[in-house]
Chain A
Amino acid sequence: EDQVTQSPEALRLQEGESSSLNCSYTVSGLRGLFWYRQDPGKGPEFLFTLYSAGEEKEKERLKATLTKKESFLHITAPKPEDSATYLCAVPPNSGNTGKLIFGQGTTLQVKP
């Protein structure tokens, strides 16, 4: 069964304390892994797409990496404004339907 699992469910960091969020997936023939940020009361906002193992993408304090079985979202020297829920998603194996399978998300809280 196609599945996306994110860990941890919640993460509390002090401002400046770097850490990583994990997204593991079981789909074969990966056709992209998507990272989103969701602020309370808002829709998910697209961050990155990764397509192949070894690929990395960066945006400000965020860096996403991809292996054959998982992706990491590294947060370097986070600030309180980085507090949000981070979601990852992959297309399922079942053909080109446009659908995405989302993980449950990691809720990050960065304290000043």
Chain B
Amino acid sequence: DAGITQSPRYKITETGRQVTLMCHQTWSHSYMFWYRQDLGHGLRLIYYSAAADITDKGEVPDGYVVSRSKTENFPLTLESATRSQTSVYFCASSQGSDTQYFGPGTRLTVL
């Protein structure tokens, strides 16, 4: 199906482990975004990308790494997961300063 997908949908990991969350979009949108959503904080931007091989930090980038070798994929890696990174992660894509379309989210629990 066309659209934006995220995998896995649910993930439980342990403190200190590396975790990669995947995001794939089929619209060939230039921009892609990673957010985390926590109670009391709303949606907070972690990283974004304006095009393949162009990424930049958002509001809360510490502890996260991104890459974008292909336009359609934008993986988010937690190099050494911490309990404070327990959250729901959303990927989104857009074509410039236009509507962002969101994926279904990944619920990550760090024990």
Contact = CB atoms under 8 A, between A and B. Distances in A.
A43 B42 contact: no
Contact of A102 (B30, B42, B48, B97): B42
B interface SS class = strand
Given A43-B90, A44-B90, A96-B96, A102 B103 contact: no
Interface residues of B, number: 23
B74 interface: no
B50 A98 contact: yes
Interface in A79-108: 87, 89, 91, 96-100, 102-105
Contacts, number: 53
Interface in B81-111: 90, 92, 94, 96-105
A32 interface: yes
A44 B42 CA distance: 12
Interface in A1-57: 31-32, 34, 36, 41-46, 49
A97 B50 contact: yes
Q: Output the residue of B56, B102, B103 with the most chain A CB within 10 A.
A: B102
Contact of A42 (B43, B99, B105): B105
Contacts of B56: 97
Interface residues of A, number: 23
Contact of A43 (B30, B96, B102): B102
Nearest to A102: B43
Contact of B43 (A41, A46, A87): A87
Nearest to A85: B42
Contacts of A100: 100
A99 B30 CA distance: 12
Interface of B: 30-31, 33, 42-43, 45, 48, 50, 56, 58, 90, 92, 94, 96-105
Interface of A: 31-32, 34, 36, 41-46, 49, 87, 89, 91, 96-100, 102-105
5 contacts: A42-B105, A43-B103, A44-B43, A49-B99, A98-B33
